[in-house]
């Protein structure tokens, strides 16, 4: 059973801190294995990737078959039903429209000293997108990673999607085609991250790697950061629902289970100002778990990491939410817009009882690659900004250099950086000579 907490109980703070501190990530032993895999891929290239893919995914590849060929993709896409095709096309359209509005503008101006200043945005040249594979592969993740990259203007897009036992999800390949992906590699795990970061004989290295994955993928992204950029280190999924009593307990139960069914380590939390409603939601969860297809996953998640927290009022609910900083935050209350102004730490906020988190996973428009493990306190979900770089621009006129150059020289001298100061002084001397 999930834990029941009440902010009015004497031991609440200790219990809440224990909930926040619960470790849901996989064993740190993963890192040592990942370090070996990365070293192997760097040393042996294709041979290491092929060997590791055979070991972990039971799939025999060659350098020529690491990537799907155009004919294979076309054949798989032909198998996509009209209904699935239409749903993915709608999702792609909405995701593209939303992310297009995120594009920042270049700017340039002249200041009072006469200097021209500004900035210019440009996309990374290439990006590698990781998509979980096999039977649990997610075409929605392809769209959420690839479309922002294309909108940003990334020149080359490659996807790594593991295909254990050769199982291919046609929807993943159709999503890649829709989003304009150039190459789809049928590899996964830490070896895929290493290959994308360092390159092999058959896999060209990229500048940035994005996308969620298991503990091995997360550890590999952490290790290759610096050689390439990464989006974030994603942990198990999580959802926090703030709900008042004017909700259907079954709706809220399903919202909680929508994340619990992802992973046994996922976390679903209900915060409510009505204790009886909290109990009703718990009963509804238990009822749904009797028939849910993924109950073997959702059940342990709800049992081990689920929580129901009773609060005095919605202001207190917002305070707790900010401390939790959830990946997904649903505000199923009478005035969700007002409450959202008080919930400043969340990866994504879903306003009102007619906005289930699942809409955000597929067709809402905003990105579903979001910060987990309380990292929403300092980071954001995936966006076009993850595929852009800002370059600053500065241009001095002789008059501008005369106006501000002496101060630069003074500061250089104060830091004992002689050449810095002299590089300004020689120009000032020419102007004053």
pLDDT tens digits along 233-292: 888 899 999 999 999 999 999 999 999 999 899 999 999 999 999 999 999 999 999 999
190: closest CA among 24, 42, 27? Answer: 42
**CA–CA gap between residue 30 and residue 408 (Å, rounded):** 49
Catalytic residue list contains 328: yes
Write down the pLDDT at residue 25.
Answer: 64
183: closest CA among 158, 201, 204, 203? Answer: 158
Write down the pLDDT at residue 27.
Answer: 59
Contact 31, 139 (CB under 8 A): no
Distances (CA, A) of 28 to 22, 24, 158: 15, 12, 29
**CA–CA gap between residue 126 and residue 207 (Å, rounded):** 5
Write down the pLDDT at residue 134.
Answer: 59
Write down the pLDDT at residue 251.
Answer: 98
Distances (CA, A) of 77 to 24, 84, 163, 299, 352: 37, 11, 16, 35, 36
Instruction: Write the DSSP string, 244-260.
Output: -SSS-HHHHHHHHHHHH
Write down the pLDDT at residue 183.
Answer: 98
- Tell me how long the chain is: 433
Write down the pLDDT at residue 358.
Answer: 97
Contact 231, 211 (CB under 8 A): yes
**CA–CA gap between residue 226 and residue 197 (Å, rounded):** 10
One of 327, 330, 357, 409 is an active-site residue; which one? 327
* Domains of the chain, residue spans: 3-25+235-364, 29-109+123-230, 396-432
Establish whether domains 3-25+235-364 and 29-109+123-230 are of one fold: yes
Contact 192, 210 (CB under 8 A): no
222: closest CA among 63, 99, 375, 51? Answer: 375
One of 328, 330, 368, 409 is an active-site residue; which one? 328
For the chain, which ranges sit under pLDDT 70?
24-28, 134-136
What CATH number has the domain spanning 3-25+235-364? 3.40.50.1980
Distances (CA, A) of 233 to 25, 189, 373: 11, 14, 9
Catalytic residue list contains 341: no
**Cα-flanking dihedrals φ and ψ of residue 358, to 5°?**
-60, -30
Please report where in the chains the tokens 């703070």 appear, as a residue.
Answer: 13
Contact 199, 205 (CB under 8 A): yes
Q: Model pTM?
A: 0.94
Outline where 27-154 has alpha helix (H). Answer: 29-44, 46-57, 70-78, 82-100, 139-152
Contact 148, 183 (CB under 8 A): no
Tokens of 257: 């289970």
Please give the class, per CATH, of domain 29-109+123-230.
alpha beta
- The torsion defined by the Cα of 169, 170, 173 and 176, in degrees rounded to 10, comes to -100
Contact 127, 142 (CB under 8 A): no
């Amino acid at each position: 059973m999930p834990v029941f907490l009440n902010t009015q109980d004497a031991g609440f703070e200790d219990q809440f801190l224990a909930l926040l501190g619960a470790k849901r990530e996989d064993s740190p032993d993963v890192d040592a294995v990942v370090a070996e895999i990365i070293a192997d891929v760097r040393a042996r290239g294709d041979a290491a990737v092929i060997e590791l893919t055979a070991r972990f995914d039971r799939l025999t590849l060659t350098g020529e078959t690491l990537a799907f060929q155009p004919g294979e993709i076309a054949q798989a896409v032909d198998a996509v039903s009209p209904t699935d095709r239409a749903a993915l096309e709608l999702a792609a359209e909405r995701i593209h429209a939303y992310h297009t509005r995120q594009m920042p503008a270049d700017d340039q101006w002249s200041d009072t000293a006469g200097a021209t200043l500004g900035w210019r945005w440009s996309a990374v040249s290439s990006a590698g997108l990781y998509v979980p594979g096999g039977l649990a592969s997610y075409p929605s993740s392809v769209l959420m990673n690839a479309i922002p990259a294309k909108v940003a203007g990334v020149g080359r897009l490659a996807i790594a999607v593991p295909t254990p036992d050769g199982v291919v999800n046609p929807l993943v390949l159709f999503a890649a085609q829709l989003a304009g992906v150039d190459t789809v590699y049928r590899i996964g795990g830490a070896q895929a991250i290493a290959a994308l970061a360092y390159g092999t004989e058959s896999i060209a290295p990229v500048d940035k790697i994005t996308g969620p994955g298991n503990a091995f993928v997360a550890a590999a992204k952490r290790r290759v950061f610096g050689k390439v950029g990464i989006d974030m280190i994603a942990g198990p999924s999580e959802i926090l629902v703030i709900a008042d009593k004017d909700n259907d307990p079954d709706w809220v139960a399903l919202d909680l289970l929508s994340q619990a069914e992802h992973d046994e380590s996922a976390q679903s939390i209900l915060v409510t100002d009505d204790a009886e409603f909290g109990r009703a939601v718990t009963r509804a969860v238990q009822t749904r778990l009797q028939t849910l297809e993924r109950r073997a996953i959702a059940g342990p998640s709800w049992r081990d990491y689920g929580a129901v927290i009773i609060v005095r009022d919605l202001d207190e609910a917002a305070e707790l939410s900010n401390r939790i900083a959830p990946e997904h935050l649903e505000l199923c209350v009478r005035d969700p817009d007002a409450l959202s102004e008080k919930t400043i730490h969340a990866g994504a906020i879903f306003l009102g009882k007619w906005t289930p988190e699942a809409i955000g996973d597929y067709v809402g428009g905003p990105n579903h690659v979001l910060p987990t493990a309380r990292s929403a306190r300092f980071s954001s979900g995936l966006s076009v900004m993850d595929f852009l770089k800002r370059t600053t621009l500065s241009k001095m006129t002789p008059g501008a250099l005369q106006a501000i150059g002496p101060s630069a020289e003074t500061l250089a001298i104060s830091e004992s950086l002689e050449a810095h100061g002299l590089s300004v002084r020689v120009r000032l001397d020419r102007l004053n000579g």
